[in-house]
């Protein structure tokens, strides 16, 4: 499936979710991770999805990115609904339109940095543009380490390689699952800049799941999840505003500020 | 995808070592068996004595029973009637046709008797033999090839049991072991002068040999015409039946090895795929389609197996030759045949290995290609679902097959034939159990839990919880142990039971106290002399051969023919190994026969009726039934007069005389004196007879031991691989255990308990599988359903299984535990 550089005509939303529900297990053991979420992510925006543990953030991201099939509801990427696609077509669509950065274990240990970054394009049967790859690696600051294997890199460096891989294919949307979870503050700041920059300069859409209010403050808008449903949003918040809202989410809404 | 496969292999060499080793061994074994089979099919024997004749005519060494589909191989030399020589001589293109009379003539030397063949002098032109000194022999003279004799010496030959002295008239240069007499004297000395052993045909130079061959073939249906390398078979008439034995052994051994290779490669590949689950999930997550994942796994499998095949060719060549030499020295294969291993065995070995690798890769890839990316990335996934309808179906099919074979073995097969169905039944049961492994593992574990729990405390409890929760992984470790224990126990005990039963059958009916043996043969006069020895109650000549019952057509013997025993006429207290149920052996002379009761009943021929038989050399005789006797089902033979049987064997000799002493008397001194007077005759007692019989049976057992040994070595690879890699994968778990308070020793003790459980489960399942095969086999072959054999064999098998399991678990665990437990954060 050859990639069309232009997005499907007319849609200004990269990702659209409609009444998505995801239930695990059956009968008495059933766990409802997502309980009817409807959301749209506009093109060229940087959104942070936040919520306490168990709110369904990772599940939400997996469903939105086509890595998991929702129990009911629909997901569309660039106007293309994911529902009726076979496993193979879905995979090709993902390869083409979506970049994903996992929280850990992002890279194939058998391949070098360069080979890891080029992998999605190779899978598609395309020859990667060497100049573009080099440019991306330089941008993430690993241009001189492209022959190393993941085992020789630190956690932060691995994360940066994963972002490079997501960026180089110029996908319609990049999903990132807790990308700064295991990083020190300086590296975290670098990584977040790397994610924000293409949004400004190239109209990239980025959706990031995080539990860190500081990371969320880099985003254009922050969406809150609690107990599987949407629980509000903030536009261009500061870290303090985010932290404050987090304290009052869901069942916590009865908490009062505690005087120190 | 191939590039990805190459890079993965370079990085993960260790994970594929087991697959590599398995393919190397599998290729070598299949190649070697292919070579054995090719050798058997070609049966190339270089002609020595007949090398000078481009065309050799012999009798047809097989007989087609009327109404049967397959011909029976005749073990005795059939020969060519002398009248046919004139006809051959008159065929266009033939310049000379020389008949070759062959008879046993043993030369008496200072150090004992040398067995040799005597011929007519005119056949010396066929080798051709050249006179090194002296002249052609006349009456009373002989030309020898033996070193150490000179012209003019007097040498004694034992011909047909009687010694005769000749003068050496000349020494011939050529293949050793032959002596030449004058044509007329040879006709007198030969047992059957009306038939030539073979006829050598010479043609004028430049004649088309194949055309002459076809013309000679058209003369008579009862002859075989050989040219080229096939002429060698004419010099060794017994090779036909040995050839069939070699082909069938090679075929079954090779087939079992190929199947085992597929099993081992499939399990090693599946295991390595299972351990790379996270990697496959990541690949799927970043956009690899299921088809691409499948192609990658297939590529990895081929990249490992093709070099392994090339490496395996080297031992395959040597293994084939080694096996052939060993089989030859143990009498299973004819040692005169040349060993040949051409391209076909190589292609067979390589092809089987590559097919196994491809099949295994596709099976392993099925699960991996379908991984949902998110499922495998979750930390808490404990084990895969193993159950699939396809797997259940095949598992039930194989179990059903094993059950069917069990019923056939118990109800239909008789005697030694039972091995033909009991052997494959082990494999059917084993594969059936292996396919439904986790189910059986859980079932057996439920039984062994309680005793183990009683004996161990904390560590035991943890071990039991581990194996119960991880029953799929544990089953993967238990199955190779089950396979190894099951196959080895079944095969080894089938062997010992069979040997014991055959030996029992022999001993039960053996009523001789001593036996006189001579390779050179003994004359009928000697039998009378033996009867005259004080202390001897009865004596009888004893000859063996094989024959075919032609009329009536429903005789219950298959294409292998009926074993024939030749004994002298005797009263009730005779030495014949029979228990009479009707008639009497006193009238066993001339053209008479005694039948086993079961056979007589089947053919509805009682005492006084007639049957028609073809004897070992193709001669047809009509015989009158004079007696019936009881015989073990499956071990029946037909009893004929000794002179009749002996006259129709290749050598025409009586090589054994059975002697029965009167109760209380000892005939041995008298017999020894008699034996001393006759060159080449020896006296042996009853125990020697029994031991000699047992030794014959042991020879066949040896082949089985070889097969079992190789299979065990092979499945051991699978056991070691599974346990070592599973243990290494659990490093993080051990680290966690130590961090919560276990000492290194406690972790090791827990692992010991787990290994004990794996061994117990594997041994239990393996023993059950073996018993499913052994019990019906034993009930059919011998009198009791309990297999006989030394218990130490079973002990050794269990010990070896335990040793392998413990070593494969504890050694890598000790290595893994050496590091500090906090070192393990991200691993792969």
ipTM of the complex: 0.82
| Closest CA relative to residue B413, chosen from B27, B780, B16, B720 | B780
Residue matched to tokens 């029973």? B65
| Closest CA relative to residue B51, chosen from B173, B146, B175 | B175
Nearest chain A residue to B12 by CA: give it: A110
Give A-chain residues touching B283 at CB under 8 angstroms: 108
Please compute the mean of the pLDDT values over residues B438-449 and round it to a whole number.
86
Mean pLDDT across chain B, nearest whole number? 82
Residue matched to tokens 């073995």? B409
Q: How far apart, in whole angstroms, are the C-alpha atoms of residue A142 and residue A153?
A: 10
Residue B275 near chain A (CB below 8 Å): no
Alpha-carbon distance values, B270 to A1, B174, B364, B374, B394 (Å): 31, 62, 5, 21, 18
Smallest Cβ–Cβ distance between B285 and the set A96, A100, A111 belongs to A100
For B656-708, the pLDDT digits (tens) are 888 888 888 788 888 888 888 887 788 888 787 777 777 767 766 777 777 77
> CB atoms < 10 A from the CB of B469, how many?
12
Residues of chain A numbered 2-61 and touching chain B (CB < 8 Å): none
Q: How far apart, in whole angstroms, are the C-alpha atoms of residue B7 and residue B199?
A: 68
Token duo for residue B118: 């005597």
Give B-chain residues touching A122 at CB under 8 angstroms: 3-4
A59, A89, A110, A151: best mutation site toward chain B, by most B Cβ within 10 Å? Answer: A110
Alpha-carbon gap: A219 to the closest alpha carbon of chain B (Å): 24
Hey, are the CB atoms on B287 and A88 less than 8 Å from each other? no
Let me know the angle formed at the C-alpha of B18 by B17 and B24, rounded to the nearest 5 degrees.
90
Please compute the mean of the pLDDT values over residues B172-193 and round it to a whole number.
82
pLDDT at B402: 85
DSSP per-residue string spanning B596-635: EHHHHHHHT--TT-EEEEE-TTS-EEEEEEEEEEE--TT-
Alpha-carbon gap: A200 to the closest alpha carbon of chain B (Å): 25
Residue A182 predicted with pLDDT over 90: no
Q: How many distinct helices (H) and strands (E) make up chain A?
A: 8, 10
Please compute the mean of the pLDDT values over residues A155-170 and round it to a whole number.
86
Smallest Cβ–Cβ distance between A68 and the set B12, B291, B374 belongs to B374
pLDDT at B270: 78
- The predicted model scores a pTM of 0.72
Smallest Cβ–Cβ distance between A123 and the set B292, B370, B828 belongs to B292
Contacts with B526 (C-beta within 8 Å, 6 or more apart), sequence order: B161, B516, B657, B674, B678, B681
For B303-334, the pLDDT digits (tens) are 999 999 999 888 888 888 888 887 777 766 77
Smallest Cβ–Cβ distance between A62 and the set B7, B279, B374 belongs to B374
Residue A122 predicted with pLDDT over 60: yes
Alpha-carbon gap: B807 to the closest alpha carbon of chain A (Å): 30
Let me know the angle formed at the C-alpha of B509 by B503 and B510, rounded to the nearest 5 degrees.
80
3-state secondary structure of B162: strand
- Model confidence at B26, in pLDDT bands (50, 70, 90)? confident
Q: How many distinct helices (H) and strands (E) make up chain B?
A: 24, 27
B3, B12, B286, B827: best mutation site toward chain A, by most A Cβ within 10 Å? Answer: B286
CA dihedral (B412, B415, B416, B422) positive or negative: positive
Q: How far apart, in whole angstroms, are the C-alpha atoms of residue B796 and residue B809?
A: 20
Nearest chain A residue to B3 by CA: give it: A122
For A13-67, the pLDDT digits (tens) are 888 999 999 888 777 888 888 888 898 988 889 999 988 877 788 889 888 988 8
Lowest mean pLDDT, pick from B186-190, B236-240, B708-712, B794-798: B236-240
Please compute the mean of the pLDDT values over residues B628-649 and round it to a whole number.
84
Chain A with chain B: Cβ pairs closer than 8 A: 68
Residue A125 near chain B (CB below 8 Å): no
Report the share of chain B in percent with pLDDT over 90: 5
Residues of chain B numbered 130-159 and touching chain A (CB < 8 Å): none
Note the helical H segments in B641-742.
Answer: 642-647, 668-677, 686-729, 731-739
pLDDT at A249: 75
Residue B288 near chain A (CB below 8 Å): yes
Alpha-carbon gap: A69 to the closest alpha carbon of chain B (Å): 10
> CB atoms < 10 A from the CB of B437, how many?
22
Residue A123 near chain B (CB below 8 Å): yes
DSSP code of residue A210: E
Let me know the angle formed at the C-alpha of B682 by B680 and B686, rounded to the nearest 5 degrees.
155
- Model confidence at B414, in pLDDT bands (50, 70, 90)? low
For B570-619, the pLDDT digits (tens) are 877 677 767 788 888 888 888 999 998 888 888 888 888 899 999 888 88
**Cβ contact B349:B316 at 8 Å:** yes
DSSP per-residue string spanning B109-150: ETTEEE--EEEEGGGGGGTT-EEEEE----TTEEEE--TT--
Q: How far apart, in whole angstroms, are the C-alpha atoms of residue B321 and residue B337?
A: 12
Alpha-carbon gap: A108 to the closest alpha carbon of chain B (Å): 7
Residue A1 predicted with pLDDT over 50: no
Give B-chain residues touching A107 at CB under 8 angstroms: 282
Q: How far apart, in whole angstroms, are the C-alpha atoms of residue B665 and residue B168?
A: 46
Alpha-carbon gap: B744 to the closest alpha carbon of chain A (Å): 28
Phi, psi torsion values for B648, nearest 5 degrees: -110, 30
Residue B732 near chain A (CB below 8 Å): no
Radius of gyration of chain A (CA): 19
Radius of gyration of chain B (CA): 33
- Model confidence at A10, in pLDDT bands (50, 70, 90)? very low
Hey, are the CB atoms on A62 and B289 less than 8 Å from each other? no
Residues of chain B numbered 356-415 and touching chain A (CB < 8 Å): 370, 372-374, 377
Please compute the mean of the pLDDT values over residues B762-783 and round it to a whole number.
88
Alpha-carbon gap: A109 to the closest alpha carbon of chain B (Å): 8
Residue A197 near chain B (CB below 8 Å): no
Crossing angle of the two packed helices A113-123 and B2-11, in degrees rounded to 10: 150
Crossing angle of the two packed helices B290-329 and B239-275, in degrees rounded to 10: 150
For B57-84, the pLDDT digits (tens) are 888 888 888 877 888 878 788 888 888 8
B285, B300, B368, B381: best mutation site toward chain A, by most A Cβ within 10 Å? Answer: B285
Q: Which residues pair with A221 in a beta bridge?
A: A47, A235
**Cβ contact B73:B61 at 8 Å:** yes
| Closest CA relative to residue B199, chosen from B176, B223, B221 | B223
Lowest mean pLDDT, pick from A164-168, B399-403, B551-555: B551-555
- Model confidence at A3, in pLDDT bands (50, 70, 90)? very low
Chain centre distance of CA B298: 36
Contacts with A115 (C-beta within 8 Å, 6 or more apart), sequence order: B7
Please compute the mean of the pLDDT values over residues B789-805 and round it to a whole number.
90
Chain centre distance of CA B537: 41
Residue B278 near chain A (CB below 8 Å): yes
A192, with CB counted inside 10 A (0-12, 13-18, 19+), is buried
Residue A97 near chain B (CB below 8 Å): no
Alpha-carbon gap: B373 to the closest alpha carbon of chain A (Å): 6
pLDDT at B770: 92
Give B-chain residues touching A62 at CB under 8 angstroms: 374
Smallest Cβ–Cβ distance between A120 and the set B7, B278, B287 belongs to B287
Residue B826 near chain A (CB below 8 Å): yes
Smallest Cβ–Cβ distance between A92 and the set B8, B285, B289 belongs to B289
Nearest chain A residue to B7 by CA: give it: A110
Give B-chain residues touching A67 at CB under 8 angstroms: 285, 372-374
Report the share of chain B in percent with pLDDT over 70: 94
Residue B13 near chain A (CB below 8 Å): no
Residue B806 predicted with pLDDT over 90: yes
A1, A123, A124, A150: best mutation site toward chain B, by most B Cβ within 10 Å? Answer: A123
Give A-chain residues touching B286 at CB under 8 angstroms: 95, 100, 119-120, 123, 165
pLDDT at A49: 92
Residue A105 near chain B (CB below 8 Å): yes
**Cβ contact B151:B133 at 8 Å:** yes
Alpha-carbon gap: B8 to the closest alpha carbon of chain A (Å): 5
Residue A91 near chain B (CB below 8 Å): yes
- Model confidence at B827, in pLDDT bands (50, 70, 90)? very low
B645-666 burial: b if 16+ Cβ within 10 Å, else e: bbbbbbbbbbbbbbbbbeeeee
**Cβ contact B504:B782 at 8 Å:** yes
Contacts of the segment A147-155: beta carbons below 8 A, 24+ positions apart: A147/A112, A147/A113, A147/A114, A148/A112, A148/A113, A149/A109, A149/A110, A149/A111, A149/A112, A149/A113, A149/B11, A150/A107, A150/A108, A150/A109, A150/A111, A150/A113, A150/A116, A151/A109, A153/A113, A155/A104, A155/A182, A155/A183, A155/B826
Give B-chain residues touching A88 at CB under 8 angstroms: 289-291
Please compute the mean of the pLDDT values over residues B506-530 and round it to a whole number.
81
Give B-chain residues touching A155 at CB under 8 angstroms: 826
CA dihedral (B424, B429, B430, B434) positive or negative: positive
**Cβ contact B747:B727 at 8 Å:** no
Half-sphere exposure of B638 (CA within 13 A, CB side): 29
- Model confidence at A254, in pLDDT bands (50, 70, 90)? low
- How does strand B162-173 pair with strand B141-144? parallel
For B128-150, the pLDDT digits (tens) are 788 888 888 888 888 888 777 77
Hey, are the CB atoms on A105 and B278 less than 8 Å from each other? yes
- Model confidence at B390, in pLDDT bands (50, 70, 90)? confident
B5, with CB counted inside 10 A (0-12, 13-18, 19+), is buried
Hey, are the CB atoms on A105 and B828 less than 8 Å from each other? yes
């Amino acid at each position: 499936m050859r990639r069309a550089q232009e997005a499907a005509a007319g849609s200004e939303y990269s990702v659209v979710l409609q009444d998505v529900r995801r239930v695990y297990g059956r009968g008495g053991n059933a766990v409802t991770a997502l309980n009817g979420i409807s959301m749209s992510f506009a093109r060229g925006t940087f959104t942070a999805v936040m919520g306490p543990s168990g709110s369904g953030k990772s599940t939400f991201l997996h469903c939105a990115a086509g890595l998991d099939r929702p129990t009911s509801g629909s997901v569309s990427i660039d106007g293309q609904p994911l529902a009726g696609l076979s496993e193979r077509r879905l995979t090709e669509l993902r390869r083409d339109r979506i970049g994903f950065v996992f929280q850990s274990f992002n890279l194939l240990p058998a391949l070098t940095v360069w080979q890891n970054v080029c992998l999605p394009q190779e899978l598609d049967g395309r020859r990667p543009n060497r100049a573009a790859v080099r440019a991306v690696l330089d941008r993430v600051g690993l241009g001189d380490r492209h022959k190393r294997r993941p085992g020789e890199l630190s956690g932060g460096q691995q994360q940066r390689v994963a972002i490079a891989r997501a960026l180089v294919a110029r996908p319609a949307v990049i999903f990132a699952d807790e990308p700064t979870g295991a990083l020190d503050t300086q590296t975290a700041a670098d990584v977040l800049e790397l994610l924000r920059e293409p949004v400004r300069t190239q109209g990239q859409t980025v959706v990031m799941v995080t539990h860190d209010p500081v990371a969320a403050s880099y985003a254009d808008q922050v969406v809150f999840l609690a107990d599987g449903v949407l629980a509000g949003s903030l536009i261009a918040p500061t870290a303090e505003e985010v932290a404050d809202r987090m304290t009052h989410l869901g069942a916590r809404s009865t908490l009062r500020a505690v005087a120190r | 995808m191939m590039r990805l496969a190459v890079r993965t292999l370079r990085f993960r060499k260790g994970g594929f070592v087991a697959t590599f080793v398995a393919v190397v061994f599998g290729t070598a074994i299949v190649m070697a068996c292919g070579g054995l089979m090719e050798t058997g099919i070609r049966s190339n024997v270089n002609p020595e004595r007949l090398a000078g004749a481009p065309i050799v005519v012999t009798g047809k060494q097989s007989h087609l029973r009327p109404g049967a589909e397959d011909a029976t191989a005749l073990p005795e030399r059939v020969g060519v009637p002398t009248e046919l020589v004139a006809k051959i001589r008159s065929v266009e293109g033939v310049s000379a046709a020389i008949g070759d009379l062959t008879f046993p003539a043993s030369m008496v030397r200072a150090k004992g008797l040398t067995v040799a063949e005597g011929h007519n002098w005119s056949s010396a032109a066929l080798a051709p033999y050249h006179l090194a000194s002296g002249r052609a022999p006349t009456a009373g003279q002989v030309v020898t090839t033996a070193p150490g004799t000179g012209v003019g010496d007097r040498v004694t030959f034992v011909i047909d049991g009687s010694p005769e002295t000749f003068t050496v008239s000349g020494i011939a240069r050529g293949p050793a072991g032959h002596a030449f007499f004058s044509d007329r004297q040879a006709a007198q000395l030969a047992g059957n002068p009306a038939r030539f052993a073979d006829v050598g045909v010479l043609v004028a130079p430049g004649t088309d040999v194949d055309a002459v061959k076809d013309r000679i073939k058209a003369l008579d249906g009862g002859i075989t015409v050989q040219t080229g390398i096939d002429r060698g078979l004419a010099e060794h008439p017994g090779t036909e039946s040995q050839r069939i034995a070699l082909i069938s052994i090679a075929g079954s051994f090779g087939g079992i090895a190929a199947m085992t290779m597929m099993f081992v490669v499939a399990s090693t590949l599946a295991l390595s795929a299972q351990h790379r689950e996270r990697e496959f999930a990541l690949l799927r997550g970043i956009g690899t389609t299921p088809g691409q994942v499948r192609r990658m796994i297939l590529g990895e499998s081929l990249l490992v197996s093709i070099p392994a095949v090339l490496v395996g060719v080297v031992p395959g060549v040597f293994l084939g030759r080694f096996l052939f030499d060993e089989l030859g020295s143990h009498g299973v294969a004819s040692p005169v045949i040349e060993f040949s291993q051409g391209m076909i065995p190589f292609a067979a070995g390589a092809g089987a290995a590559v097919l196994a690798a491809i099949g295994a890769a596709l099976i392993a890839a099925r699960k991996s290609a379908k991984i949902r990316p998110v499922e495998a990335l979750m930390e808490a996934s404990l084990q895969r679902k193993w159950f699939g309808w396809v797997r259940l179906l095949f598992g039930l099919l194989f179990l059903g097959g094993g059950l069917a074979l069990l019923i056939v073995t118990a109800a239909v097969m008789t005697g030694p034939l039972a091995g033909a169905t009991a052997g494959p039944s082990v494999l059917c049961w084993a594969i059936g159990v292996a396919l439904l492994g986790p189910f059986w593992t859980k079932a057996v574990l439920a039984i062994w839990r309680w005793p183990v729990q009683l004996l161990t405390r904390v560590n035991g409890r943890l071990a039991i919880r581990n194996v119960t929760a991880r029953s799929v992984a544990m089953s993967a470790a238990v199955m190779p142990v089950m396979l190894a224990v099951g196959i080895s126990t079944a095969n080894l005990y089938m062997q010992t039971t069979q040997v014991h039963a055959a030996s029992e059958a022999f001993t039960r009916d053996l009523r001789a106290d001593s036996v006189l043996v001579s390779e050179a043969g003994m004359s009928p006069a000697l039998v009378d002399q033996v009867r005259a020895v004080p202390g001897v109650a009865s004596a009888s000549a004893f000859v063996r051969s094989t024959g075919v019952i032609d009329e009536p057509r429903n005789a219950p013997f298959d294409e292998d023919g009926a074993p024939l025993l030749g004994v002298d006429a005797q009263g009730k207290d005779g030495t014949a190994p029979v228990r009479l149920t009707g008639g009497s052996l006193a009238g066993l002379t001339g053209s008479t026969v005694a039948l086993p009761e079961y056979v007589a009943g089947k053919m509805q021929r009682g005492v006084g009726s007639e049957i028609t038989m073809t004897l070992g050399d193709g001669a047809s005789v009509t015989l009158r039934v004079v007696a019936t006797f009881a015989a073990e089902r499956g071990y029946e033979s037909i009893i004929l007069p000794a002179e009749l049987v002996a006259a129709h064997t290749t050598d025409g000799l009586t090589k054994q005389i059975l002697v029965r002493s009167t109760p209380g008397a000892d005939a041995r001194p008298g017999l020894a004196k008699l034996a001393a007077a006759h060159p080449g005759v020896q006296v042996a007692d009853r125990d020697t007879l029994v031991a000699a019989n047992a030794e014959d049976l042991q020879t066949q057992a040896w082949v089985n031991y070889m097969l079992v040994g190789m299979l065990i070595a092979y499945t051991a690879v699978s056991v070691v691989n599974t346990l070592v890699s599973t243990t290494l994968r659990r490093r993080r778990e051990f680290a966690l255990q130590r961090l919560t308070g276990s000492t290194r020793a406690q972790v090791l003790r827990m692992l010991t308990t787990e290994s004990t459980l794996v061994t117990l489960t594997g041994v239990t399942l393996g023993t059950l599988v073996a018993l499913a095969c052994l019990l019906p086999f034993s009930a059919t072959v011998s009198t009791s359903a309990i297999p006989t054999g030394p218990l130490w064999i079973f002990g050794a098998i269990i010990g070896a299984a335990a040793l392998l399991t413990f070593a494969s678990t504890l050694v890598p665990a000790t290595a893994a535990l050496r590091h500090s437990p906090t070192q393990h954060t991200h691993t792969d």
